[in-house]
């Protein structure tokens, strides 16, 4: 969960403590060195697209290398949807609902509250496509499965304690380990919630022509990777459950703060290892690649009928600037610069999605944390802060959320 991005009401102290940990590790260079973490051989240059985790043909996609496999997966999903609903053609489908849930660390409590309040309000649709990155990846399976899983979604963001997310390491971890904290508690929490029943329900959703996509970043290849969670759950592979849990863990692994997830893959029968971290390294929000709906654009140019699509984007963060006095110190300046870049990236992502939906004639709806939420974050994953933010999102949605039809400033 991109907890470094706590621009939404995060205190300067919380940000400074993260970078102070790095500094302390650097100052520990005079201490006895520990053995550095080892890893297996990386996938050879240029072979990433051929690497497979489970041997499932459509288990994941590399949109920046080739968008066609993902486009074909969307077409197959729509065709399954047509068959399940007993329709004659794709154009007979009712409006398709799309949902994107962004990263934002503990701010994911906002999206969780919004979804649960939306259920209570009574107009929450069943989504044909749900995407998630970082904390959004943890929310996405619950959003995909609908109101039946609201209680679990609420528990994730209102009952988890910091010790159920991470274990801080010694200050020397900055030099002699792969992260400042151990996220194995988060893996245990993911495993507890993402049980066999939930995986079976995700597989049923996939059979019904619905897609659940989660993004991580392949650090070796410097590529975004989109994981087809429904297809993996449907595969029946003995390692499917563990793979999905580690994908969610990887998508929420802030580089430097949390360890990467290592995936054993094969290429031509030879085993290699990939290093995956937070999908937010590439984007904090995604809905569909710009090239995906080329056929739709062509049909619109010819004045032909197209499917009605409605897109919802939940930005687990604020979209206005947060003023702060920056200390004239290396760590203070670096920390502020990083949080500024993350904030700008988050805003740019929702703007890109907006322009893509306008081009493709898709109804656009945006939710984000407003300036009226003023609770401060005292430390990462503080339960009181997260419960307050959950309630903020819940109450606004319960009263019929006022979705923005475009990002602010446009």
The answer to whether 275 touches 251, Cβ cutoff 8 Å, is: no
Q: Is the pLDDT of residue 24 over 70?
A: no
Q: Is the pLDDT of residue 174 over 90?
A: no
What confidence tens digit (pLDDT) does each residue in 319-341 have?
A: 988 788 999 988 789 888 888 88
Q: Is the pLDDT of residue 243 over 60?
A: yes
The whole-number pLDDT of residue 31 equals: 43
Q: Is the pLDDT of residue 22 over 70?
A: no
The answer to whether the Cα torsion of 45, 49, 54, 59 is positive or negative is positive
The whole-number pLDDT of residue 172 equals: 62
Write the CA distances from 59 to 98, 192, 203, 358, integer angstroms: 20, 23, 13, 30
The whole-number pLDDT of residue 238 equals: 96
Q: Is the pTM of this model over 0.75?
A: yes
Report the alpha-carbon distance of residue 30 to residue 280 in Å, rounded: 34
Report the alpha-carbon distance of residue 362 to residue 364 in Å, rounded: 6
Instruction: Tell me the pLDDT of the chain averaged across its residues.
Output: 88
* Predicted confidence band of residue 3 (pLDDT cuts 50, 70, 90): very low
Burial of 7 (0-12, 13-18, 19+ CB in 10 A): buried
Q: Is the pLDDT of residue 128 over 60?
A: yes
3 state SS of 307? coil
Q: What percent of the chain clears pLDDT 70, i.e. is strictly above it?
A: 89
**Residue of 57, 53, 61 whose CA lies nearest to 262:** 53
Report the alpha-carbon distance of residue 248 to residue 241 in Å, rounded: 11
* Predicted confidence band of residue 23 (pLDDT cuts 50, 70, 90): very low
Write the CA distances from 21 to 180, 244, 327, integer angstroms: 7, 31, 17
């Amino acid at each position: 969960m991109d907890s470094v991005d706590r621009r939404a009401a995060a205190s300067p102290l919380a940000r400074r403590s993260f970078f102070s940990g790095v500094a302390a590790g650097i100052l520990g260079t005079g201490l006895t060195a520990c053995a550095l973490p080892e890893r297996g051989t990386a996938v050879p240059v240029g072979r990433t697209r051929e690497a497979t985790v489970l041997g499932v043909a459509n288990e994941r996609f590399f949109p920046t290398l080739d968008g066609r496999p993902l486009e074909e997966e969307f077409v197959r999903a729509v065709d399954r949807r047509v068959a399940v609903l007993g329709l004659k053609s794709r154009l007979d489908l009712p409006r398709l609902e799309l949902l994107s849930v962004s990263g934002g660390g503990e701010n994911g409590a906002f999206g969780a509250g919004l979804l649960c309040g939306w259920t209570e309000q009574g107009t929450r649709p069943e989504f044909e496509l749900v995407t998630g990155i970082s904390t959004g990846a943890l929310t996405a399976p619950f959003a995909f499965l609908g109101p039946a899983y609201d209680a679990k979604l609420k528990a994730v963001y209102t009952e988890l304690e910091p010790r159920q997310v991470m274990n801080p390491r010694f200050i020397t971890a900055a030099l002699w380990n792969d992260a400042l904290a151990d996220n194995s508690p988060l893996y245990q929490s993911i495993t507890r919630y993402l049980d066999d029943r939930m995986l079976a329900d995700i597989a049923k959703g996939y059979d019904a022509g619905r897609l659940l996509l989660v993004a991580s970043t392949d650090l070796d290849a410097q590529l975004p990777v989109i994981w087809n969670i429904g297809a993996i759950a449907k595969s029946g592979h003995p390692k499917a459950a563990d793979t999905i849990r580690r994908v969610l863990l990887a998508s929420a692994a802030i580089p430097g703060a949390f360890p990467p997830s290592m995936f054993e893959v094969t290429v031509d029968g030879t085993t290699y290892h990939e290093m995956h971290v937070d999908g937010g390294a590439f984007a904090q929000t995604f809905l569909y690649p710009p090239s995906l709906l080329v056929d739709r654009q062509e049909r619109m140019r010819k004045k032909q009928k197209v499917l009605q699509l409605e897109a919802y984007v939940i930005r687990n963060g604020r979209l206005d600037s947060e003023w702060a006095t920056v200390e004239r110190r290396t760590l203070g300046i670096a920390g502020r610069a990083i949080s500024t870049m993350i904030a700008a990236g988050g805003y740019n992502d929702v703007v890109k999605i907006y322009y893509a939906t306008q081009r493709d004639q898709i109804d656009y709806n945006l939710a984000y944390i407003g300036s009226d939420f003023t609770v401060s974050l005292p430390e990462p994953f503080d339960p009181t802060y997260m419960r307050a933010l959950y309630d903020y999102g819940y109450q606004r949605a319960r009263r019929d959320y006022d979705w923005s039809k475009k990002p602010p400033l446009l």
